[in-house]
Amino acid sequence: MTLYLIGLGLGDEKDISIKGLEAVKQCAKLYLENYTSILQCSVSQLEKLYGKKVQVVGREFCEQGADKLVQEGKKQDIALLIVGDPFSATTHTEIFKSAKKTGVPIIVINNASILTAIGITGLQLYKFGKTTSLPFPEEQPNVETPYLVLGENQKMGLHTLILLDLRPEEDKFVTVNQALEALEQMEKRKKNRLIHPDLLVIGCARLGSKDFLVKSGKLKYLKKFDFGKSPHCLIIPGKLHFAEEEMLEEWK
């Protein structure tokens, strides 16, 4: 009996690896973690490919029900399906540790992650600093962490990836536009001159899917641009190599 953590990639139902699909086919129960990101397909499309029912679960199930999940793995083959890569979120690390501690066999099947997909922007991955996230501005209007992380990265000339909060079960997502406006509000409070209308920023939407979108330009222009469906993320470049500058021209 085995517990599988299976990465689904970033696009649609076809992004699962052959190894992942083989594991899915032999599992008695499938859970889909539905809070760290979303696929560009429906649950029914996953079920059609798998030939099995998929149970959607949220943050509480994965964080507080980790032991229950592991115990199920003692009795039968089960899988937790994860958008992107299993270890892009710390929650899944806890599940892995719990399985190891209790002696339940666990197999991890990796896949593409937002942390690598951003390479399509042309920015060199090893030049990214600390990644940060931006919550729903109306719920945490005084949040400062993204601004502080940006400041730390900028001091070292490093790029900053800002992941934007989402709540798929409520069809609620932070957009690039909202994120830029939130950063402007942080600038008004902190006054460190990190955020200004002519700042070069890169907005990304639906990376890994067929209709992905990348746009680079000044903040004052991208703040008004329609990036379409979520998920979105925002990148603020640090010091640019000429090869990075040339690639960003392609996304203007």
What pLDDT digit, counting tens, does each position of 100-153 carry? Answer: 998 999 999 999 999 999 999 999 999 999 999 999 999 998 999 999 999 999
Q: Is the pLDDT of residue 175 over 90?
A: yes
Q: What tens digit of pLDDT does each residue of 3-18 get?
A: 999 999 999 999 999 9
Q: Is the pLDDT of residue 94 over 90?
A: no
**By CB neighbour count within 10 A (0-12 exposed, 13-18 middle, 19+ buried), where does 198 fall?**
exposed
Report the b/e string of 97-111 with b at 16+ CB within 10 A: ebbeeeebebeebbb
- The arithmetic mean of pLDDT across residues 173-180, rounded, is 97
Q: Is the pLDDT of residue 65 over 80?
A: no
Q: What is the pLDDT of residue 141?
A: 87
Q: What is the pLDDT of residue 90?
A: 73
Q: State pTM to two decimals.
A: 0.93
Q: Is the pLDDT of residue 49 over 90?
A: yes
Task: List the structure tokens of 125.
Answer: 């991955």
Residue 190, CB-side half-sphere exposure with 13 Å CA sphere: 21
- The arithmetic mean of pLDDT across residues 197-203, rounded, is 98
Distance CA 211, CA 26 (A): 32
What sections of 27-175 are H helices per DSSP? 43-50, 59-64, 66-75, 90-102, 114-117, 145-155
- The arithmetic mean of pLDDT across residues 228-245, rounded, is 97
Q: What is the pLDDT of residue 174?
A: 97
Lowest mean pLDDT across 33-42, 114-123, 177-186, 214-223: 33-42
Cα dihedral value 106, 56, 111, 167, nearest 10: -130
**By CB neighbour count within 10 A (0-12 exposed, 13-18 middle, 19+ buried), where does 52 fall?**
middle
More confident residue, 71 or 90: 71
Q: Is the pLDDT of residue 208 over 90?
A: yes
Task: List the structure tokens of 134.
Answer: 């931006």
Reported as a pLDDT band with limits 50, 70 and 90, residue 172 is very high
Distance CA 223, CA 184 (A): 10
- The arithmetic mean of pLDDT across residues 33-54, rounded, is 92
Secondary structure (3-state) at 87? helix
Q: What is the pLDDT of residue 59?
A: 80
Cα dihedral value 78, 80, 86, 91, nearest 10: -120
